[in-house]
Structure 1
Amino acid sequence: MRTLLRLCMIVALACAPAFVPSAAFAAEGPRVLVVTTGNEAQDVADFAVERLQMEARRWNFTLDEGTPEDLADLGRYEVVMFVNTGPDLLDAGQQAALQSFVEGGGGFVATNSAAASALDWPFYQEMLGATVIVPPAEPKSEKPVTFNAGSPITEGLDEELKVNERWYSFDPQPDETAFTVLAQLASTDPVAWSSDRHKVFYASMGGEGDTWGDRDFLQLMRQGIWWAAGEEGVLVQNSEDAAPSWPYTLTFVLFVVAVAGGGSIAVWRLDKAEAEKEADAAKVGEPVGV
């Protein structure tokens, strides 16, 4: 009976992690509406959304694909995201809905050509804080990007990132008294910044698929989304969705079997040693346990 009880305790301890709720599910993460309408390269836009969906599953936020028409009902979203969107994207009603959302505390994240999606809308230019020159002034080229510390959006990004993009220029560039420059080129031209007035984050990178495949760029984007959503807590990785679940389930089962098996052997050896001690004590007439 003593052996059976010890074995049950070992198995219970080994299985305990399976019944502890993941920290990532302690609270529902923010919900993001992502729009790619009018982009110049659908394959890049599709890959960007695919990568963002992986980030959403891994880091506990929800990503819904939509169109400008979905801006009419933003009540269930914390963030609107324009990924490489095209020009003349919004009609008057959609502009009004987005402006009301941002001025009411909603978050807005944009990448690459989204800076040119509403050149004739004053609020959009004010919100982004810079006016883009289109088309990009230079052909695609690889340039080093450095990140600035001090913002939760760039937390952990302390290495130089080499990015191969068609680089946009801005005139005027974001006013550093009203915006925080998060990343820049060697020329000091900013390529990512956030607003000090609204929950608005923009990155001029993201026009190429290779950029969306870079883990540092994805970290920048997910932290930008988290910041724009007004989240103050630390991002917690949901390890259950970081990769397909079956290899990890199999590994866990094997771990339990190994622990239980090893524990059984240890308990058997302990009981055997105790039995031998009791037998030896009985032979010499000593009280058991002395």
Structure 2
Amino acid sequence: MSKQRPLLVLFLLAIIFPLMTWGQKADRILIFTKTRGYAHASIPAGVEAMQEIAAKRNIQVDTTSNVEWFTSEKLKPYAALVFISTNGSVLNEEQREAFKEYIHSGGGFMGVHGASAGARTWPWYQEMVGGAFSSHPEPKEGVLLRGNLLHPINRDFPEHMVWKDEWYNFSQVEEGLTILLWADEASYIGGEYGKNHPIAWIRDFEGGRSFYTALGHFSYHFTDAIFRKHLEAGLLYAMGKDAETASF
């Protein structure tokens, strides 16, 4: 009997391990860069930065601008979808349904800069992102203010920082967001919110998770160490990782 025990253990592991891991998303992300109309020149720099951040975390990356990737089966392996300055309504109804199914099954979304300008005729997408882009002044310097001071995703961001960007205004901002960064409208001209102007946030949404940052208009932004930590923390949140114990 003792000789049979190792075989029994291996047999049980062969059954139990797949059951334990079934349904879990691997450490793999999909970077999506499709645009229709205006395309930010910073998109390649954003892709490169996210690839380097992922490599640091041993996360596998696929990158595409092909909307045919949006099927239930093709999206299933990904822990997060990363939209880098996507623009325009690019997904058809079937692809939108696959996207919704992905989020409803616990998937994560990360939107960078122009991602809030995508799918303006798709209310579900705007709600999932958390805000819909409406306008911005010419790029200029302003001051970023740290929002939720206690949230671990924010711990490496200074309480205030001078930053040059397109300071996005939004036609709507959803309720229930955890605001990570505010724009200090007293520091520049062109804001439309007054005291409370959100620029980056997170939210749980319909079974999934969403991180959005309006920063990232210029290519050089993606070499900034603080901004990279901001992106890294946002990615970990979107993937469902514990940012509190993550080492930056």
Give the unaligned 5+ runs of structure 1. 1-27, 238-290
Structure 1: distance between partners of 2:164 and 2:174: 22
Note closer, same or farther for the CA distance 1:158–1:137 as it changes in structure 2 (3 Å cut).
closer
Letter in 2 for 1:78: A
Structure 2: distance between partners of 1:132 and 1:41: 15
Structure 2: distance between partners of 1:206 and 1:228: 18
Letter in 2 for 1:59: R
Structure 2: distance between partners of 1:190 and 1:168: 9
Structure-to-structure mapping, 1:119-130, within 5 angstroms: 119-130=120-131
Structure-to-structure mapping, 1:151-230, within 5 angstroms: 151-175=151-175, 178-187=176-185, 188-197=196-205, 198-230=208-240
Which residue does 1:55 correspond to in 2? 53
Note closer, same or farther for the CA distance 1:64–1:236 as it changes in structure 2 (3 Å cut).
farther
Structure 2: distance between partners of 1:195 and 1:42: 25
Bigger strand fraction: 2
Structure 2: distance between partners of 1:123 and 1:131: 11
Contact kept? 2:39, 2:87, Cα under 8 Å: no
Which residue does 1:34 correspond to in 2? 31
Contact kept? 2:27, 2:60, Cα under 8 Å: yes
What are the superposed Cα offsets for residues 6-55 of structure 1, whole Å, 9 maximum, x if unpaired?
xxxxxxxxxxxxxxxxxxxxxx9721100111174464111111111111
* SS of equivalent to 1:211: helix
Which residue does 1:5 correspond to in 2? none
Which residue does 1:96 correspond to in 2? 97
* SS of equivalent to 1:139: coil
* SS of equivalent to 1:221: helix
Contact kept? 2:82, 2:111, Cα under 8 Å: yes
* SS of equivalent to 1:217: helix
Structure-to-structure mapping, 1:80-91, within 5 angstroms: 80-91=81-92
Structure 2: distance between partners of 1:56 and 1:167: 27
Contact kept? 1:36, 1:45, Cα under 8 Å: yes
Note closer, same or farther for the CA distance 1:184–1:66 as it changes in structure 2 (3 Å cut).
same
Note closer, same or farther for the CA distance 1:29–1:96 as it changes in structure 2 (3 Å cut).
closer
1:139 shift after superposition: 0.6
**Percent identity of equivalent pairs:** 26
Which residue does 2:107 correspond to in 1? 106
Letter in 2 for 1:185: A
1:235 shift after superposition: 2.8
Contact kept? 2:136, 2:168, Cα under 8 Å: yes
Bigger helix fraction: 1
Letter in 2 for 1:171: S
Contact kept? 1:44, 1:207, Cα under 8 Å: yes
Note closer, same or farther for the CA distance 1:230–1:54 as it changes in structure 2 (3 Å cut).
same
Structure 1: distance between partners of 2:154 and 2:41: 27
Structure 2: distance between partners of 1:38 and 1:232: 32
Structure-to-structure mapping, 1:202-281, within 5 angstroms: 202-232=212-242, 234-236=245-247
User: TM (normalized to structure 2)?
Assistant: 0.76
Structure 2: distance between partners of 1:227 and 1:48: 18
* SS of equivalent to 1:60: coil
